[in-house]
Structure 1
Amino acid sequence: MTALDLNFRVATLEDAPQLQELVQAAFRAEDSRSDWTGDMGLASQFHISVKEIESFMNGPESAFLMATDNNGIVVGTIGVSKRGANGARLSMLAVDQRHHRGGLGRQVLGYAEYYIHQTWGATKLGLNALSTRQTLIAWYMRRGYQKTGETSPFPRERFPDLELPDGMCFVEFEKDLDTVAVAA
């Protein structure tokens, strides 16, 4: 698959329904790579509302960045939020499943790092990944993210009907943007 020429911008409230569809579809997508998607029962029940997307967008120092192709079709998105004087956090990286394995996720992540560094001057960037998604964890580590040694709890109460693995949690990661060349 050839790399797409992407156009990036900050999403507006009018974009929220498209982003909700993209995030939900990306988190529910099946993938043949073991440990990439993780538990399909869990993935199939993932839900995020347009109101949740809008609420994040309305935060004082948070936004969704979106990537569109040359036809204006949304193909990727990521949530960014400022944390303290020098920090920022990424969330909900989502790529249109028709473009998986084509480097699009890497481009969206790279742009988010650039945006955060240029917009907020952040030098520390955090994110998390579900502990059962070992291939995704390795992917983030190849992008320069390091495990902090901390975890955060998984909201089991949102999935009362699923039998989830014991010890499932979110693994916390951090990246130092000062030691990395951040480019668009």
Structure 2
Amino acid sequence: MHTADTADTADRTVTGLTFRDATGADVDTLVALVESAYRGESSRAGWTTEADLLEGQRTDREAVREIVGAPGSRVLAAERDGTVVACCQLEHRGAHAYFGMFAVDPALQGAGLGRAVLAEAERTVRESWGATELHMTVISAREDLIAWYERRGYRRTGRTSPFPYGDERFGIPLRDDLVFELLVKELA
């Protein structure tokens, strides 16, 4: 859990959201949230859908449980009125941190929740781990999403990594040109 003064002991409320570290008890809720934001018809209610790029799952209980319990990793859960409405994974990687598994309830997208979660993630890794950069990978075909991150100070690096074709744990690609691009933001 997070407070304005310390980054590890109490809830932190920003823009109507309360941030806390997810626990094993949140795994099913987190899986449902991530799946609803990226896959299937429910994801089309928001703008972050990957339904035109990928079918199948985005994540599963085993993967989320592993992330929640991994050393040097934490999952921020953002709650509104006691319901988890957004989340992200943070992983400490030395001088930088990695940002992933970012999801906002599709029915609530476009209202500033994503911006608030991203800002809280940046604050958390700076204060908790002394990270000087936040890294993330985004499917390069997601130009609208990359543009959103660029407006928040992230820069494209041109460094790519292959999409894990053939590994259905990450979805079933509908295109043969998917790659991840590394985006980086220096944290002040």
TM-score normalized by the length of structure 1: 0.85
Alpha-carbon distance change, 39 to 117 in structure 1, aligned in 2, over 3 angstroms = same
The ranges of structure 1 where at least 4 consecutive aligned residues each deviate by more than 3 angstroms after the TM superposition are 36-39, 159-163
Which runs of 5 or more structure 1 residues have no equivalent in the other structure?
179-184
For 1:169, which of 173, 179, 183 is the aligned residue?
179
Q: 2:106 — aligned with what?
A: 97
Corresponding position: 1:19 with 2:30: yes
After superposition, residues 1-184 of structure 1 pair within 5 angstroms as: 5-28=16-39, 29-30=43-44, 37-40=49-52, 42=54, 44-69=55-80, 71-84=81-94, 86-159=95-168, 162-166=173-177, 168-178=178-188
Which letter maps to 2:44?
A: E
Give, in whole Å, the separation in 1 of the partners of 2:92 and 2:36: 26
User: Larger % of strand: which?
Assistant: 2
Residue 102 of structure 1 aligns to a residue whose secondary structure is coil
Identity of counterpart residues, as a percentage? 36
Alpha-carbon distance change, 147 to 99 in structure 1, aligned in 2, over 3 angstroms = same
Partner deviation per Cα, 1:67-86 (whole Å, 9 max, x = no partner): 001x20111000000002x1
Partner deviation per Cα, 1:74-101 (whole Å, 9 max, x = no partner): 11000000002x1100001100011011
Give, in whole Å, the separation in 2 of the partners of 1:21 and 1:61: 24
Alpha-carbon distance change, 153 to 162 in structure 1, aligned in 2, over 3 angstroms = closer
Whether the 8 Å contact between 2:73 and 2:90 is mirrored in structure 1 is yes
TM-score normalized by the length of structure 2: 0.83
Partner deviation per Cα, 1:100-121 (whole Å, 9 max, x = no partner): 1101110111111111111101
Give, in whole Å, the separation in 1 of the partners of 2:105 and 2:163: 25
Which letter maps to 1:79?
A: Q
